Structure 1
C-alpha cells in the first residue's frame, strides 16, 4: 500500500512594480488680499498642513495553493511463489522490518506432492538400475560360461584331430602289413572303422565349437547391451534427481522474507489458515525514507512555478 501524504504548496511569485518618481505635491495656501477690508479675508478657509512623501518600489506577493501527493520511491508487493495455506504471519501492519526478515510462512501442499512424486520417480529409476545391473551380471556370467564352453570344445576338437591323424597312420601301417601277409584283412577293416568313428566325433566337436562360439558372441552382445542400458538408466536417474532437486527448491519458498527495509502494509484480511495462490499479493513493504512529489499545476502557471520557493503544509 502506497504511503501518500497530502500537502499544500504555496508558490510565491514576485512582481516588482515599476518605481515611480517622487511626486512632490505642494499645496499652496492662497492668501486672498483685499483692499476692501479684513472681513473678506476672515471668511476664507484656513490652510491645512500636509506631509510630503517620496514613493518607493515594493514587492507584491502572488501565491497559489495546490494539492499534491507524496509517493514512496521504494515500494514492493509481496506475493508467494508457491500456493498453499498460510501457516504463520510474523509481522503486523505498520511494523518496521529490515531486509531478510521473515514476513509469513506457507504450507506447500502442491509442492510437497510434487516432491513426493519426483522422489518416487527417482526410487523407481534406481530400482530399474539395480535390475539392469543384475542383468549385466547375468550376461557377464553367461559370457564366462560360453567362453569356457568354447575352450572345452576346442580342446575336445584338438584331441579328436589327433585321434583322426593317428587312425589314418594306423590304416597305412595296417595296409602294408596286410599286403605283406603279416596281419589279416580284418585288422585293416577295424582301423578303417576307427577312423570313421574319429572323423564323426571330430565333426561333431566342430559343430559344438561353432555353437559355443555363437553363444559366446551372443553373451558378449548381451553384456554390451546391459552396459548401454546401465548408462541410459544412469542418465535417467541424473535427470530425475535434477528434477527432484529443482522441485525441492520450491519448498524453500514456503517463507516470504522482506526484500527491502521499510514499513509493512495491510494484509487485506489475509490470515493464518487462508489459502493463497502463486502471485497473489499478501502485503506490501514501503520505504518512507525518500518520496516522489506529484503536484498538478495548471499549464499556464508552469513557467512561474519553476525555481520558486515551495512551502509545504502536511
Structure 2
C-alpha cells in the first residue's frame, strides 16, 4: 500500500510539472510588454544649408545729372523698358548753352588770329628775302668798286712814274716845262680818281652793312612772326578745347540709359524740379534680365560652400515655380557687422517672372549620402553615458526581448534620422510602447505595427 501511495504522489508531481511547463509560454505572454516596432530603411540623403535670400538685379543705377539746372522733360515712367543710349530725361541749363556759344565764337576768333599771324609771317619772309637781295647787290657793287679802285691805283702808279721820268728829262733839258706840267696834271687827276674809287669802295661797304642790317631785322621779324603764328595756333587749340568742353557739358543735359536693356523702377522727380550736379536722382533703372539671389551664409556654414553647388530655390510669391540653380559666387570675407558670408546665385529672368526685392528660400546642397540607414519618428533616445556625456540609443526587439543599442547619429532633417553606426538595417526597432521598458524585458510586438 505504501508503494502504491508513493507511486501516486510521484505521478501527481510529474503531472503538475508537465502542466507548469505547458502553461509557461502563456504566462510569459501574459507578462510581456506590448510594443510597436519599425524597421530601418535605406535612403539617399542630401545635406543642405537652408537660408532665406533676396533677389537683386544684376545691375542697377540711379540716373543723376552731371550739371545743375532745371528738369526740362522726363521721357519715361515706371515700368517702361529702355535700351542703351535711349533718352530718358533732359536738363535745361541756359548758362551752359551761352557758354558754348561764347566758346565757339572765341574759337573762330582764334582761328582768324592764326590767319593774320600767317599773313604777317609771309610779309616778314618777303622782307627777309628782299634784304638778302639787297645784300647781294651791295656785295656786287663793292666788288665793282674794288676793281675800279685797283685800276685807279695802277693808273696813279703809272702816272707817277711817268711824271718822275718827265722831271728827269726836264732836268737834262730833254723835255720842256710844259710837258712836265702836263704830266703832273695827269698825276693829280689819277690821284683824284684813285681817292674817288676808294670813297666808292667805302660807300659800297656801308651799303652792304645797311643791307645786312635790314636783312637781319627781316630775319628777326620772321622769327617773331613764327612765334606769333605758334602762339595763335596755341590759342586756337585752347579755344577749341574750351568749345569741346562746353559742348560736352551741354551734352550732359541729356540723360540716357547706361545699360543694354533696363526697366524704370522708380521716378523720383518731375519736370520743373531743380537738379544739382551729381546729387539729384531723377530715375532708378535696373537690368532685370538676370537676377542674383543674395544669400547671407552664417559663419559656421560658410566653410562648407563651394562654387557650383546645387541650390534649390522656392519662392513665396504665388504662381512662381521652384527653381534649381547653382552657386555662382562666394565672397572671400565675412561681413563684420553680420558675421555672414555673401553668396550669390544667378538666375535667368528673360521671362520677367521674378522681381527684384522678392524673398526666396534656398537649400544649398553641401553633401550627399547614398544608401544611408535611416529611422523615422521618435525611435532615437538620449541618455547619460558612462563618461557623463549624452549618448544616443534605440530599443531593439530581438527574440521577444527588448535591448538597448547605442547608435551614432548623422544627418537629421526633422523627418528621418541617419544612423551612422550601431545598426545594420535588419533590426526591429521599437518605436512605441516604451513606457517603463527595461533592458532585457520581454516584449510582445503588436500585430500590424512591424514594417
Displacement after TM superposition at 1:288 (Å): 4.6
SS of 2:266's equivalent?
coil
1:91 maps to 2:76: yes
* Closer, same or farther: CA 160–94 of 1 in aligned 2, 3 Å: same
Asked if 1:205 corresponds to 2:209, the answer is no
**CA offset at residue 114 of structure 1?**
3.5
The answer (yes or no) to whether the contact 2:71–2:274 under 8 Å persists in 1 is yes
1:216 and 2:201 are equivalent in the alignment? no
Does the alignment pair 1:225 with 2:224?
A: yes
Q: 1:294 to 1:161 in 2, by over 3 A?
A: closer
Q: SS where residue 316 of structure 2 aligns? A: strand
1:237: Cα distance to partner? 2.5
Match of 1:155 among 132, 140, 143: 140
**Cα distance between partner residues in 1 of 2:127 and 2:295:** 89
* Number of residue pairs aligned between Structure 1 and Structure 2: 254
Distance 1:225 1:80 in 2: 47
Residues 278-297 of structure 1 aligned to structure 2 (within 5 Å): 278-279=277-278, 280-288=280-288
> Alpha carbons of 1:70 and 1:164: their partners in 2 closer, same or farther (altered >3 Å)?
closer
- Describe the SS at the equivalent of 1:106: strand
Moved more, 243-252 or 88-97: 243-252
Q: Give the secondary-structure state (helix, strand or coil) at the position aligned to 2:60.
A: strand
Match of 1:21 in 2: none
Deviates more, 1:207-216 or 1:110-119: 110-119
Partner of 1:263: 263
Specify whether residues 278 and 242 from structure 1 end up closer, same or farther in structure 2 by C-alpha distance, changes over 3 A only: same
Query: 1:217–1:76: structure 2 CA closer, same or farther, 3 Å change rule?
Result: same
Whether the 8 Å contact between 1:87 and 1:104 is mirrored in structure 2 is yes
Gapped regions of structure 2 (runs ≥ 5)? 1-28, 40-50, 167-174, 300-310, 319-451
Contact 1:84 1:108 in 2 (8 A): yes
Counterpart Cα distance in 1 of 2:149 and 2:312? 126
Q: CA deviation at 1:287?
A: 4.1
Residue among 91, 101, 104 paired with 1:106: 91
C-alpha change, 1:122 and 1:296, in structure 2 (3 Å) is closer
* TM-score using structure 1 length: 0.65
CA RMSD after TM alignment: 3.8
* Whole-angstrom distance in 2 between the partners of 1:296 and 1:168: 116
CA distance in 1 between partners of 2:141 and 2:315 (Å): 116
Contact 2:72 2:90 in 1 (8 A): yes
Q: Is the 8 A contact 2:128 2:218 kept in 1?
A: yes
- The offset of 1:244, in angstroms, is 2.8
SS in 1 for 2:135: helix
Q: Distance in 1 between matches of 2:187 and 2:313?
A: 141
- Unaligned 5+ segments in structure 1 are 1-24, 28-51, 58-65, 300-306
- CA shift for structure 1 position 157: 1.7
Asked whether the equivalents of residues 83 and 110 of structure 1 are also in contact (C-alpha less than 8 Å), the reply is: no
Map Cα deviations across residues 31-73 of structure 1 (whole Å, 9 max, x no partner).
xxxxxxxxxxxxxxxxxxxxx994769xxxxxxxx99865444
Point out which structure has higher relative CO (alpha carbons under 8 A, 6+ apart): 1
Q: TM-score, normalised by structure 2?
A: 0.48
CA contact (8 A) 1:129 1:233 kept: yes
Structure 2: distance between partners of 1:135 and 1:311 = 81
Question: What residue is the counterpart of 2:316 in the other structure?
Answer: 312
Q: Give the structure with the higher percent strand.
A: 2
- Quick one: distance in 2 between partners of 1:155 and 1:194? 20
Higher helix share: 1
1:125 aligns with 2:129: no
**1:187 correspondence with 2:186:** yes
Larger radius of gyration: 2
Deviation at 1:122, TM superposition (A): 2.2
Residue of structure 1 equivalent to 2:123: 138
Distance 1:69 1:141, change over 3 A: closer
CA contact under 8 A between 1:85 and 1:275: conserved in structure 2?
yes
Aligned-partner Cα distance in 1 for 2:121–2:297: 84
State the SS of the aligned residue for 2:59.
strand
Shift of 1:103: 0.9
Q: Which residue of 2 aligns with 1:166?
A: 151
How far has the Cα of 1:77 moved from its partner?
A: 0.8
